[in-house]
Amino acid sequence: MSSLPANTDRGAIRDPNSLGRPKSRAARVLRERIIVGALAVAATFSIFVTTTIVVVLAKETIGFFEFPEVSISEFFFSAEWNPLLGAEKHFGIWPLIAGTLLVTLIAASFAIPVGLISAIYLSEYASPRVRATLKPALEILAGIPTVVYGFFALTVLTPVLQKLNPFLERLGDGWTFGNYNAMSAGLATGIMILPIVCSLSEDALRAVPRSLRDGAFALGGTKFDVSVKVVLPAALSGIVAAFLLAISRAVGETMIVALAAGGIAQITANPTAEVQTMTAYMVQIFLGDAPAFGVEYKSSYAVAAMLFLMTFGLTMVGQSVLRRFREEYD
């Protein structure tokens, strides 16, 4: 160090071994400032994106409510959504929300149990060799485009479900599967979110320290006791956050429901019925069923705003679950 010239802080660094041109301190500081500035601009871009989404959706939604045939009270409190057909148009959002919830419920009741149990198996039971073959299978499932799941629902799941129709007929009218139904779309959505549930839950389970397991085994717990009564509760915040993320994916899923769920906006709990979700309605509008800039066209922005609020709420709840209920073991 003593061989360094005394004026390094002001003058140029003249180390013959250093690569590149020698730079003055001022030049280095300037370059540093420019780079940090550019990076900060990049980071601000994401804020700009969110702001623009909110402003665009708010502006267009307000524009929608300014049409004389639309009223805010009908939008939130009426159960009829019929913007395209008939003399009188009705804009009550609930049938679309009900359709979305039905598909999401079917998807979640398939993906959450199967995904969570698979995650426990991968994290606690499976040998490294089994893991090495099962993880890629899940990764492939995660990478398949959603339109492929829609095709699968339409051409495989629905025909299989229709095989049940002879038995379902005895239940009464309206309980048989048609070409479009909530069940096939829900199941396909469930398959789509399964890898999300599974891999995020597994991450949470594997983050639980080994000492907890060792302690529980030392107390005489079986593998089941240790996995389900010790490790699972310890990882609960991460697992709940994984569920919420998967559910918000299901709520926002578009191509599967547009292909397989049908186009009738109705409030029903019947999984064999045709339903229209919020996203499927938007697809119908943007595919050109409505004249641009008319009231039906604008209604899709109001639906998008509701969708944005729902997924935003789910994400925020998920984030706060992670922050509030995280168990720290260090």
Partner 1 sequence: MAQERSPASRLFANRAFLWACLVAMNLAVLVLVVLLVSIFWQGWDTLSWKFITNFASRKPSEAGIAAPLWGSVWVCAICGLVALPLGVGTAIYLEEFAKRTRFTRIVQTNIMNLAGVPSIVYGILGLTAFARMFGAFGTNVDEAIEFGNSESLWYIRLPFGSSVLAGGLTLMLVILPVVIISTQEALRAVPSSLRAGSFALGATRWQTVWGLTLPAAIPGIMTGAILAMSRAIGESAPLLVLGGLLLVFNTPENLMSDFAILPLQIFNWAGRPQDAFHAIAASAIIVQLVVLLAFNGVAVLIRQKLQKPLQ
Residues 30 to 69: which contact partner 1 by CB under 8 A?
31-32, 35-36, 38-40, 42-47, 49-50, 52-53, 56-57, 60
- Contact between 78 and partner 1 per CB under 8 A: no
Give the C-alpha distances (Å, rounded to integers) separating 75 from 78, 234, 265, 309, 314. Answer: 6, 43, 14, 15, 22
State the binding string over 112-131 for partner 1 (x if CB under 8 A, else -): -xxx-xx-xxx--xx-----
Among 107, 261, 282, 295, binds partner 1 (CB under 8 A): 282
177 binds partner 1 (CB under 8 A): no
Q: Which of residues 203-222 bind partner 1 (CB under 8 A)?
A: 221-222
In whole angstroms, how close is the CB of 155 to partner 1 at the nearest point? 6
Considering beta carbons, is residue 77 or 286 the nearer one to partner 1?
286
Stretch that binds partner 1, among 85-93, 101-109, 206-214, 227-235 (CB under 8 A): 227-235
316 binds partner 1 (CB under 8 A): yes
State the Cα–Cα distance between residues 236 and 22, nearest whole angstrom. Answer: 55
- From residue 181, give the alpha-carbon distance in Å to each of 70, 95, 189, 256: 29, 15, 13, 11
CA distance 297 to 73: 20
Please, are residues 252 and 279 in contact by the beta-carbon 8 Å criterion? yes
| Residue 172 C-beta: closest distance to partner 1, Å | 28
Q: Which is nearer to partner 1, 54 or 79 (CB)?
A: 54
- Cβ burial of 193 (10 Å; 0-12, 13-18, 19+) is buried
Burial of 153 (0-12, 13-18, 19+ CB in 10 A): buried
